[in-house]
């Protein structure tokens, strides 16, 4: 009996909950009253009329406003059809709806779903709500949410965001986000502030900034339109008719603004005369006599005086009319003081941008030059000093890169693996160079054609051997983590840390080469044996041994260059072929047998290639072709290169 009584009470409670509108329990809360104020607009859900309701919620200062906007955006808000009161709803079983109070979000109870209608804002309204929510997200405790809000403003800024952004800057605790907010606030001030002084101060505050978003904010402010008046307005820029503006276009502008009658062109004159033919006459003049332009113009003038046709406008009339007016460019994107400040800032940005692009291009050229120098420094020894045309030099670069790859297979620490790979690549390619010199080169000294053919065959054999061992797929040579990223000077100038490291490595090997050749016994013997082998032999130097060590030394440096190049280029069996031509050009242009010439040659070839690529960025192959043609012409005028050897060294 007690159990039956409990069930009866529970059933009665549910019936009462369903019978009485649940929303009636929260009809007098501030947030509900505000929603009721804009009830028809919210229920209609039209993008054209919903704006005031969203703005009122966002600017109300009510603690429940953010939740209401979020639930509305998520399509979780409903309104009762009979009373129009708003609630949060969640669909329940049996066609019921679980209701929640818009003030506080507490559960109210359940009601039949048919008594309520769901608000389903379209994408446009959801976007408007998202913009309104930004001001709440800017002060959210979660820094990730604040960061997302800043990103949303940067993507689609509105005038309403400016006040919210300003209010959030002082309370921001994250230094990086605070700096980002302050910069974004200045950008929005440029676009949306009402006071000209504020906008000008914000523009001047970006002095030296070359960023794209600043230029995007300034460009609309300097938009102009062509206009005409009888005197030049203040701040307008005059346009000279005949120079910046053609007379026809100028008169067309006068005609469009009803400041002058339309010009009488031959077709118009002819059509008007035909329409006014009366028998065999026009305005009392025989048609047969109208066989000249002057005669037809005179008849047309007579018709114009009588009002039968528009006035006759001749070239002289056009010239006279144009003299009475001033044509000018007027700012339309902002008031004149703001537009002039933006124009000055853009000119300054353009000048600094051009300078930055020049510096960036020079850095790219030096970066490429350091790579070519590393690739050519070994060839400067084998070809420049020994006179051996080694077409397999590129394959020694490839062997060094593969050596670095193999080392990283066994040493997972990338920093340690690179430090081990450099001396190991030198040892491997030094040994390969010695073997090649003993087996091939030593029999072909002073026979350049045979040497070229033999080393070309060796290069093909080495490429095929690399394909058999490592396959045709490119292999990675991973740089250490501290070489990731770039050194960023501004939005234009940036150079990767890998290229900086290669540049430093090139300088190190330049110093090493100079030390070996000028401060060691080996260098002294190499210079003696290459300049005068017979005299060197008579002094106890073994030219055969020196040639072997010299060729091995040049090959070893090529192996180290392969490790450096492999850090940013693909390691494949054909990678050496990409550098052999540039290496020979570097040595020949710089001056055969001179390390300083090789350095200057690498600088010339690298900067020239980057310059041509900048002029023709869509076709790298064409840029290389133009570069080769330039080098050919250069050699025609200076066959011994930039720094030519003199004395016996040049004769040898």
Q: What is the pLDDT of residue 384?
A: 65
pLDDT attached to residue 389: 82
Please report where in the chains the tokens 């309370």 appear, as a residue: 171
Q: Is the pLDDT of residue 420 over 90?
A: yes
What average pLDDT score do residues 97-125 get?
88
Average pLDDT across the chain, whole number: 82
- The answer to whether residues 384 and 526 touch, using CB atoms and an 8 Å cutoff, is no
Name the band, by pLDDT with cuts 50, 70 and 90, for residue 618: low
pLDDT at 353: 86
What are the φ and ψ backbone dihedral angles of 575, each rounded to 5 degrees?
Answer: -65, -30
Question: Residue 645: what pLDDT?
Answer: 54
- The H-assigned helical ranges of 38-174 are 39-44, 51-58, 65-73, 123-137, 143-155, 160-169
pLDDT of residue 592: 67
Considering just the CA atoms, what is the radius of gyration of the chain in Å?
Answer: 41
How do residues 157-196 score in pLDDT, each as one tens digit?
888 788 888 888 888 888 999 999 999 999 999 998 888 8
Asked if pLDDT for residue 536 goes beyond 80, the answer is: no
Residue with tokens 């919903």: 50
Alpha helices per DSSP H over 74-218:
123-137, 143-155, 160-169, 175-192, 196-204, 212-218
pLDDT at 402: 93
pLDDT, position 9:
35
Domain range list for the chain: 2-126, 138-222, 224-331, 354-573
User: Stretch 102-110: mean pLDDT, rounded?
Assistant: 86
Structure-token pair, residue 503: 């540049």
For residue range 26-84, list pLDDT tens digits in order. Answer: 567 888 888 888 888 888 888 888 888 888 888 888 888 888 888 888 888 999 888 88
Do 571 and 622 meet the contact criterion of CB atoms below 8 Å apart? no
The three-point CA angle 35-40-43 to 5° equals 80
% of residues, the chain, pLDDT over 70: 92
Residue 276 makes CB contacts below 8 A (sequence gap 6+) with 282, 283, 303, 308, 309
pLDDT in tens, 539-562: 878 888 888 888 888 889 889 889
**Cα–Cα distance between 464 and 484 in angstroms, integer?**
33
* The pLDDT of residue 19 is above 70: no
Q: What is the pLDDT of residue 134?
A: 80
The tokens for 504 are 């430093």
pLDDT of 404 above 60: yes
Q: The whole model's pTM is what? A: 0.65
Closest CA to 585 of 597, 573, 569: 597
- Of 172-176, 478-482, 637-641, the least confident: 637-641
């Amino acid at each position: 009996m007690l159990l039956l009584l409990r069930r009866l009470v529970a059933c009665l409670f549910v019936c009462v909950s369903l019978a009485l509108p649940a929303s009636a329990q929260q009809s007098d809360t501030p947030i509900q009253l505000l929603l009721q104020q804009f009830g028809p607009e919210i229920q209609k859900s039209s993008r054209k009329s919903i704006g005031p309701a969203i703005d009122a919620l966002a600017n109300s200062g009510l603690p429940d406003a953010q939740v209401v906007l979020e639930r509305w955006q998520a399509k979780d808000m409903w309104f009762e059809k009979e009373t129009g009161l708003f609630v949060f709803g969640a669909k329940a079983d049996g066609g019921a709806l679980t209701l929640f109070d818009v003030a506080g979000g507490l559960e109210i109870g359940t009601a039949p779903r048919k008594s309520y209608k769901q608000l389903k804002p379209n994408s446009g309204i959801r976007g408007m709500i998202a913009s309104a929510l930004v001001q709440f997200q800017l002060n959210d405790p979660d820094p990730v949410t604040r960061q997302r809000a800043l990103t949303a403003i940067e993507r689609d800024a509105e005038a309403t965001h400016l006040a919210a952004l300003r209010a959030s800057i002082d309370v921001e605790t994250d230094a990086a986000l605070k700096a980002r907010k302050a910069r974004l606030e200045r950008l929005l001030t440029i676009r949306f502030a009402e006071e000209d002084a504020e906008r000008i101060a914000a523009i001047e505050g970006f002095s030296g900034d070359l960023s794209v978003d600043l230029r995007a904010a300034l460009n609309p402010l300097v938009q102009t339109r062509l206009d005409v008046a009888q005197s030049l307005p203040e701040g307008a820029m005059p346009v000279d008719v005949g120079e910046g503006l053609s007379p026809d276009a100028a008169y067309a502008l006068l005609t469009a603004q009803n400041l002058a009658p339309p010009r009488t062109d031959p077709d118009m004159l002819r059509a008007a005369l035909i329409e006014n033919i009366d028998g065999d006459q026009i305005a009392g003049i025989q048609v047969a006599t109208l066989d000249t332009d002057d005669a037809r113009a005179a008849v047309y003038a007579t018709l114009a005086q009588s009002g039968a046709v528009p006035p006759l406008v001749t070239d002289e009339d056009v010239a006279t009319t144009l003299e009475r007016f001033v044509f000018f460019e007027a700012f339309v994107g902002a008031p004149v003081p703001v537009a002039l400040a933006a124009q000055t800032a853009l000119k300054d940005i353009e000048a600094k941008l051009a300078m930055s692009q020049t510096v960036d291009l020079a850095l790219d050229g030096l970066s490429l030059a350091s790579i070519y120098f590393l690739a050519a420094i070994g060839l400067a020894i084998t070809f420049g000093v020994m006179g051996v045309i080694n077409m397999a030099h590129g394959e020694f670069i490839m062997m060094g890169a593969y050596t670095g790859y193999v080392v990283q297979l066994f040493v997972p620490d990338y920093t340690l693996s690179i430090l081990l790979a450099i001396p190991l690549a030198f040892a491997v390619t030094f040994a390969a160079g010695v073997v090649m010199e003993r087996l091939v080169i030593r029999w072909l000294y002073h026979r350049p054609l045979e040497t070229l053919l033999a080393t070309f065959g060796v290069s093909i054999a080495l490429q095929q051997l690399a394909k058999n061992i490592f396959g045709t797929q490119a292999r990675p040579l991973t740089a250490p983590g501290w070489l990731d990223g770039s050194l960023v000077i501004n939005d234009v100038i940036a150079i990767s840390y890998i290229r900086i490291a290669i540049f430093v490595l090139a300088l190190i090997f330049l110093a090493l080469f100079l030390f070996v050749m000028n401060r060691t016994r080996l260098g002294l013997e190499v210079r003696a044996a290459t300049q005068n082998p017979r005299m060197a032999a008579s002094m106890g130097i073994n030219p055969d041994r020196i040639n072997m060590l010299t060729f091995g030394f040049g090959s070893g440096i090529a192996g180290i260059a392969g490790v450096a190049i492999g850090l940013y280029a693909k390691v494949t069996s054909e990678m050496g072929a990409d550098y052999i031509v540039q290496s020979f050009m570097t040595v020949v242009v710089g001056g055969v047998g001179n390390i300083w010439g090789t350095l200057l040659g690498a600088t010339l070839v690298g900067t020239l290639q980057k310059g041509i690529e900048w002029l023709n960025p869509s076709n790298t192959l064409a840029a290389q072709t133009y570069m080769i043609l330039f080098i050919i012409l250069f050699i025609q005028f200076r066959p011994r290169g930039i720094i030519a050897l003199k004395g016996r060294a040049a004769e040898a």
